[in-house]
Amino acid sequence: MPLTAYDLSGRTALVTGAASGIGRASAALLAEAGAVVHCADSDAAGLEETRALITAAGGSACTHPLDVTDRTRLRAAVDDVISTAGRLDIVAAIAGIMHSGMVLETEDEDMDRVLAVNFKGVLYACQESARAMIRTGAPGSIITMSSGAVDAARPGLLCYSVAKAAVVQLTRTLATELGPYAIRVNAIAPGWIRTPMTERHDAALQHRTEEAMARISPLRRVGEPGDVAHTVLHLASDASAFTTGQVIRPNGGVAMPW
Ligand code: NAP
């Protein structure tokens, strides 16, 4: 397969969580590869910054301020993509929140909120996008955001890791159901990535998780948003045309499941 397999010219992408961190880096890289990128996030100001970044680099982007727990707003964003571009080729469901709390201190509201954003928000994006892809007959790539939290049990990460494990099972199930429509579905399970989310986490716990994670990585470092964005690009592009139902791990080698 030639290197042009990574060329996304003529493709349309929807990226949730595009106002910050991994989502912003992914939206920018997909645009650099030639896709028109529809950026969705609850942070309207951050979305504008991402759009400005993309257009300054010569790319093309639109913004959709929305909460991914609101299925109606997600459906409207997908409808807008289809009415302006006529097709939706790539979806990267990246929006998510971190939550820390020991099991015995976990309230119903904690679990409900994390599942609503990190699982249902991904489910809604997958459902609404896949319906549009099937309607328009375009082959597609759906990318979901899991986490390295599914590869190990750690104190305080119950809500987060349960939601991210649910994302893996959603991804694998959807891959079996959407394959016949030429729609591929894959999950990414990153290790510790330096983003506003992880910076907030360490500040709240007054802990340098970053240093601990770097120590246990064979590469002796944590990740940058670009490390994950390149995995998103690979899964979005024809370079991964035979890959579906997989969990890809840009994690610096901190976990090495078979
Ligand atoms: P980030 O910098 O905080 O970016 C996440 C973005 O999602 C933010 O702009 C956030 O907006 C938005 N968002 C949160 N809840 C939303 C909602 N209900 N509707 C719409 N947008 C919402 O975090 P990140 O580190 O890039 O993480 C991105 C994804 O990667 C998450 O799913 C995370 O779980 C996953 N992940 C991250 C790491 C890591 O080490 N960073 C590792 C594994 C997996 P607000 O800022 O307004 O909340």
Into how many domains does the chain fold? 1
Say what the pTM is. Answer: 0.98
Is the CB of residue 247 less than 8 Å from the CB of residue 186? yes
Instruction: Write out pLDDT tens, residues 181-235.
Output: 999 999 999 999 999 999 998 888 887 889 999 999 999 999 999 999 999 999 9
Whether the pLDDT of residue 138 is over 90: the answer is no
**Mean pLDDT, to the nearest integer, of 242-246?**
98
pLDDT confidence of residue 144: 99
Instruction: With a cut of 90, say whether residue 114 has pLDDT above it.
Output: yes
138 lies in a domain?
yes
Give the residue numbers marked as catalytic. 160
Residue 215, in any domain of the structure: yes
User: Is any ligand 1 atom within 6 A of the Cβ of residue 115?
Assistant: no
The average pLDDT across 50-68 equals 98
Ligand 1 nearest atom to the CA of residue 116, by list position: 18
Domain of 229 in residue numbering reads as 3-248
Q: Is 126 a member of any domain? A: yes
Q: Quick one: pLDDT at residue 1?
A: 81
Residue with the smallest CA separation from ligand 1 atom 24 is 21
Asked whether residue 93 carries a pLDDT value surpassing 90, the answer given is yes
Q: How far is the CA of 189 from the centre of ligand 1 (A)?
A: 13
User: Average model confidence (pLDDT) for the chain?
Assistant: 97
pLDDT for position 165: 98
In a domain, 62, yes or no: yes
* CATH number for the domain that contains residue 156: 3.40.50.720
> From the CB of 62, is ligand 1 less than 6 Å away?
no
